[in-house]
Amino acid sequence: MNPPAATSSLEPLATVMDAQPFMVLTGAGISTPSGIPDYRDSEGVRRGRQPMMYQEFLNQGEARRRYWARAMLGWPRIRQARPNAAHLALAQLQAAGRIAGVITQNVDTLHDQAGSPGVIELHGSLHWVRCLDCGQRSERDAIQQQLETQNPYLAGVDAVQAPDGDTLLDPAFEARFQVPHCPHCQGTRLKPDVVFFGENVAQATAAQAWSAVHEAGGLLVVGSSLMAYSAFRLCRAVVEQGKPLLAINFGKTRADALLDLKLEQPCDQVLPWLAERLKG
């Protein structure tokens, strides 16, 4: 592990978090060292094309074909990604009772793989697929096998990786793509078990996150611009309760005016340092 560039600048973070366990809210920035692209630049502006919208996916067969063609090529990168030092440090902090738990906007399950128990996944998990017709869930790997069998012409096609298992695929490859069928009912309206843009976070999940933040001593944001309201509202709730709101994030966040402390340093260096600093 490389030490953070300016260790002295991190002492205020350790001092505040030493008082009582915080909840930690993570975004795409914690997974970029694991090779998964993030959504926004340092100004909080979205990179690349507009994401698939929920109503578009729900109502248009062509949209589902476009999504699954790109996802077929993007899934291997997500499946092969492994937790980095930041994920592992949070698991260590939680095991030591130094943080209360983890809420994540990410859909890559890297916190689970790192050993963090009870992760609250605000936006679901790409490792599962849900049928919009019968409601049954299937493992993403099983759907991937079906996709590769039905669409051998895409084998070896090189596509640029995009956030959340998406890719930048030439539309010419999409026209004859065969969408997957539900293994339970044979329906063709399969959707990754994640929250799309334009879709609401499940009520039970939102309530669980709200309760966790309410009971914690404060909130540490890691690698998130907080542009999604589901995350920003948790920050606002912490501030309204008079609790500390901290962030480790490069660039602008939606909550900059609310933050008590912000560090623009690599989270995969800062969090291992913090875990070591708060040990024992």
- Give the pLDDT band of residue 155 (cuts 50, 70, 90): confident
- Give the pLDDT band of residue 141 (cuts 50, 70, 90): very high
- Phi and psi of 137, rounded to 5°? -105, 150
- The mean pLDDT value for 77-99 works out to 97
How far are the Cα atoms of 143, 153, 173, 192, 279 from residue 176, in angstroms, in the given order?
Answer: 18, 10, 7, 21, 56
- Phi and psi of 203, rounded to 5°? -55, -45
Condensed to tens digits (0 to 9), the pLDDT of residues 208-243 reads 999 999 999 999 999 999 999 999 999 999 999 999
Q: Is the pLDDT of residue 146 over 50?
A: yes
Strands, sheet with 137-139, edge to edge from the N-terminal-most edge strand: 137-139, 124-131, 190-194
Tokens (6 digits) for 72? 């077929």
- Give the pLDDT band of residue 157 (cuts 50, 70, 90): confident
Condensed to tens digits (0 to 9), the pLDDT of residues 185-201 reads 999 999 999 999 889 99
- Phi and psi of 184, rounded to 5°? -95, -40
185 annotated among ligand-binding-site residues: yes
User: In the chain, what's the furthest Cα-to-Cα distance?
Assistant: 59
Q: Choose the weakest-confidence range: 7-11, 128-132, 221-225.
A: 7-11
223 annotated among ligand-binding-site residues: yes
Condensed to tens digits (0 to 9), the pLDDT of residues 242-271 reads 999 999 999 999 999 999 999 999 999 999
Backbone dihedral region of 248: left (phi > 0), alpha (psi from -120 to 50 degrees) or beta?
beta
- Give the pLDDT band of residue 279 (cuts 50, 70, 90): confident
- Give the pLDDT band of residue 5 (cuts 50, 70, 90): low
Q: Is the pLDDT of residue 166 over 90?
A: no
2 annotated among ligand-binding-site residues: no
Q: How many CB atoms lie within 10 A of CB 137?
A: 13
Helix, strand, coil % (nearest 5) of the chain?
Answer: 40, 15, 40
Which is catalytic among the residues 111, 123, 127, 214?
123
Q: What's the pLDDT score for residue 174?
A: 84
Q: Does residue 214 carry a catalytic annotation?
A: no
Q: What's the pLDDT score for residue 9?
A: 84
Q: Is the pLDDT of residue 45 over 70?
A: no
Q: Check residues 42 and 152 and name the one with the higher pLDDT.
A: 152
Q: What's the pLDDT score for residue 47?
A: 46
Q: Is the pLDDT of residue 20 over 50?
A: yes
- Bridge-based pairing state of the strands 167-168 and 160-161: antiparallel
Q: Is the pLDDT of residue 81 over 50?
A: yes
Q: What's the pLDDT score for residue 2?
A: 54
The C-alpha angle 112, 114, 117, rounded to 5 degrees, equals 45
Report the mean per-residue pLDDT for the chain. 91
Q: Choose the weakest-confidence range: 36-40, 169-173, 228-232.
A: 36-40
125 annotated among ligand-binding-site residues: no
267 annotated among ligand-binding-site residues: yes
131 annotated among ligand-binding-site residues: yes
225 annotated among ligand-binding-site residues: yes
